[in-house]
Amino acid sequence: AKMYEEDTATGSLVLTGGDSLQYTYTGNTISSFIAKGYDADNAIWVNGLRVTAISNNAAGQPTGFDVEFWNDSTNAWDPGKLRYSELTWNAGFDSWFALFGSEKYMPNAEAFLREGFKDLPRVAFWRLLGQPDQYVMREFNGSTFVNSERAYSVVSGGLIQRVTYQTWTGTGWESHIRDVYTWTGTKLTMAVREDSSSGSWQIPSSNAYRNLWAYNGNGDLTSETGEYRDSVGAPWLLDWGNQYAIVYQPTNASRIQTWLEKDYSFNGPTGSGAWDTTARYTLYYSTASSTCPGCEGDLALGIYPNPFSDQIHINGLSQEAQWCITDLNGRLFAQGDQRPEESGTSLNNIACQAWPAGIYMLQVWDAEGNRSWHRLVKR
């Protein structure tokens, strides 16, 4: 991901910042990578960290890896590496870029959908996505790896209820903080941090924060806010927030027509700000009634079910069409082609039980080079 700014003297765009991940593969699997950042002062890409010894589970989620950091003073990798093991991703693994890349450029696939499709209320920010809910982290002391910190979670019905963080004392693990999550159905509605400094788990007596999410009857996000409390018994005060006033089509109560976006503007002591309207979005829907040159007679592409779980069915592929299914990181999950006599036939039951939940892209191109992309969702 690169960021360019306009040079006021020349009017041309100049590279001023960016993140880069350089991967090494074993087959189709990432085995290691180096994360680099762009140094605009010297116009060079510089090393930041290196991830090696990556292991994955059957769903393609990382279960362990080593992290090394670049030492600018020695111009070499620092020997004090970190080793992560026993990782679980009950909220889903997004991507390596989401985990280690800068949020200034491309935080994750959810943010990409926000910016790319602008169907914002449907893509609610979920703070758990792309973060491990369990891990053990060990530090290298020059000869061996020793315990440092770990996290463990409680999961019920596939939903994370809380994540507890512990540090190693030299003789055992000591708990210090935990994040507690509240759900309404499958929707995350509150997240709050507790500590055990008083001898039991409680919301801190001062400097306490919590995040809240609200949805309408259609399940679309209508607000996301952060609140602050400075003492026990004091009211929770609004610190930041976003609101989405959604209007649906008169003839289709589940299809969004417009929404108004408001941001909470902090203009003074916490809780004394105001809601400012920042944008209004209008969605337009259309149905194609004509065909492109060279496509006449081809069947419309049919994909079902979508979202899918254990299999997906595709029909209507044109003559000599080629296709592939990848995730948003470009990792290939399935591919194939159609012989001339199979024009308009179906691909039955593409097995996808082992695919991790998330967003996929079906890419189809024919002999004339016509290409199309189709968004798929794995539950």
Q: What is the distance between the alpha carbons of residues 366 and 293, in angstroms, rounded to a whole number?
A: 12
Q: What residues are paired with 25 via a beta bridge?
A: 30
Domains of the chain with bracketed CATH: 2-149 (no CATH), 203-285 (2.40.128), 302-378 (2.60.40.3080)
Phi-psi region of 18 (alpha: psi -120 to 50; beta: other; left: phi over 0): left
- Signed CA dihedral, 142, 146, 148, 154: sign only: positive
307-341 tens-digit pLDDT: 888 888 887 777 677 788 887 766 788 887 755 44
CB distance 107 to 19 below 8 Å: no
Q: Among 104, 103, 159, which Cα is nearest to 128's?
A: 159
Q: What is the largest CA-CA distance in the chain?
A: 74
Gap between the Cα atoms of 69 and 85, Å rounded: 18
| pLDDT tier, 117 (very low <50, low <70, confident <90, very high otherwise) | very low
- Other C-beta atoms closer than 10 Å to the C-beta of 97 total 22
Q: Judge contact between 130 and 160, C-beta under 8 A.
A: no
Please write the tens of the pLDDT for every residue from 59-114.
Answer: 889 999 999 999 988 999 999 899 999 999 988 887 787 777 654 433 333 343 34
- In this predicted model, what pLDDT tens digit does every residue of 32-55 receive, in sequence order? 999 888 888 888 889 989 999 999
Six token digits for residue 131: 């973060």
